[in-house]
Chains A and B, each alone.
Chain A
Amino acid sequence: MNFKIRAARKEDCKDISRMIMELAVYEKMPEQVKISNEDLERDGFSPNPFFECLIAEVSDEYMNKDGYTIVGYTVYFYTYSTWKGRSVYMEDLYVMPEFRAVAKRCVRLQFSVLEWNKPSLDFYFTKGAEDLTAKEGWHFLRFHGQALDQLAREAPNN
């Protein structure tokens, strides 16, 4: 099957939004998706974007039953490791089910996987990824909602 990988454009945000929801459904957390395609347009296609995005597109003769030709995406952004330097974090990687089984001088690629998602974990291991949570004991922590507001209120005023 012919497909191409290209940089996402603003017009793709509707499809990206659709696939974000499909991925969230697969991860059993669709209620956690709070952003819309307008948020993606604003945050990904401004002079200092918060993320970058690549799209996988098939030609018209391979469009799926609903008529989509944009069949996969990855959202990523550049980060920094005070140990190793420039890094890239892959926030999402997704290919629609029926289309599966197909640098800025960064030194590492990081991403997260749910521990029960064995097919993805196995795939990533075959590509040479390491599970740092299992290997080194790293845990992701997060402040959000009221706890984040409360923390920010306690910042010094200078």
Chain B
Amino acid sequence: MFNRWEDLCNVISLRPLLPAVGLPTPVLPTWCLILYFLDIFHNMDFSIRPATLEDCKDIARMLLELAEYEKVLDQIKVTQKDLEQDGFIKNPFFHGIVAEVPEEHRSKEGHTKVGYALYFYSYSSWKGRAVYMEDLYVMPEFRGKGIGKALMSKVAQLGLAAGCSLLNFSVLDWNKPSLDFYLSQGCSDITADMGYHCMRCEGDELEKLAQGGT
């Protein structure tokens, strides 16, 4: 109980006032309790941890939710099995981190895994080691609580620890809420600033290109 009062004081910055009020820490008025629980709701407990093989089911679920938001649900070919095969082998194609909430905060469908980021290491022939964040997603009912920012920061931290100097990712130009958020965090829009266009060869065109090689 004492620790929760300490948390309360720190969280709503009452500590500087306590000596003036002359009250010992454990004795605080009811309005503080109300503020405390409101604040607990806003600063929901969550943890960020590396993804495991067992998380692939939830990552596959959330991947589809993200695809629906990006209006590309019909384009998704990756399955839970692909994630298991490609992310958890000796030389994985990607790494994942998962945001998890305690049972008492589970979603209305009963999910406690409420966000993820998927990334891989890449290379810039100009700047060296880089990390590319392929996906960043938080379930709608868990947004606004710092989970997305925490996931992205974790990818940045892991990237720096691996010696990377760049964190790269892509955003659709109509996705204004996300674009605004990223720009507010200090990133640059390389397409707008430098004129780089993202190009792709896939399917039959990729086969044809490969056949034209020596």
For residue A136, CB closer than 8 A to chain B, the reply is yes
Complex-state Cα separation, A143 to B166, whole angstroms: 6
12 pairs across A/B with beta carbons < 8 Å?
A: A4-B214, A32-B126, A80-B120, A89-B122, A109-B209, A111-B199, A115-B195, A142-B168, A147-B188, A149-B160, A152-B153, A155-B154
Residues in A neighbouring B118, C-beta threshold 8 A: 80, 82
Residues of A within 8 A of B152 (CB): 151
Please pick, from A34, A44, A77, A150, the residue contacting B126 in the complex, using a CB distance under 8 A. A34
The answer to whether A142 and B166 touch (CB under 8 A), given A79-B122, A80-B120, is: yes
Q: Which residues between 92 and 134 of chain B lie within 8 Å of chain A, taking CB atoms?
A: 93-94, 118, 120-129, 132, 134
B23 at the interface (CB under 8 A from A): no
Q: Which of A78, A115, A143, A152 contacts B196 (CB under 8 A)?
A: A115
The verdict on A8 contacting chain B, using a C-beta distance below 8 Å, is: no
Q: How many residues of A contact B (CB 8 A)?
A: 74
B122 with A77: CB separation less than 8 A? yes
Is A15 in contact with chain B by the CB < 8 A criterion? no
CB distance from B154 to the nearest CB of A (A): 5
Which has the most chain A C-beta neighbours within 10 Å: B47, B123, B189, B204?
B123
Closest residue of A by beta carbon distance from B205: A128
* Assembly CA distance A86 to B165 (angstroms): 24
Instruction: Knowing that A50-B129, A134-B197 touch, tell me 15 more A-B residue pairs with CB under 8 angstroms.
Output: A23-B125, A77-B123, A82-B66, A82-B118, A109-B206, A110-B198, A129-B200, A132-B197, A133-B198, A140-B191, A144-B188, A150-B186, A153-B153, A155-B156, A156-B154
Q: Which residues of A contact B (CB under 8 A)?
A: 4-5, 20, 23-24, 29, 32-35, 39, 43-44, 48, 50-51, 75, 77-86, 89, 91-92, 103, 106-116, 121, 124, 127-134, 136-156, 158
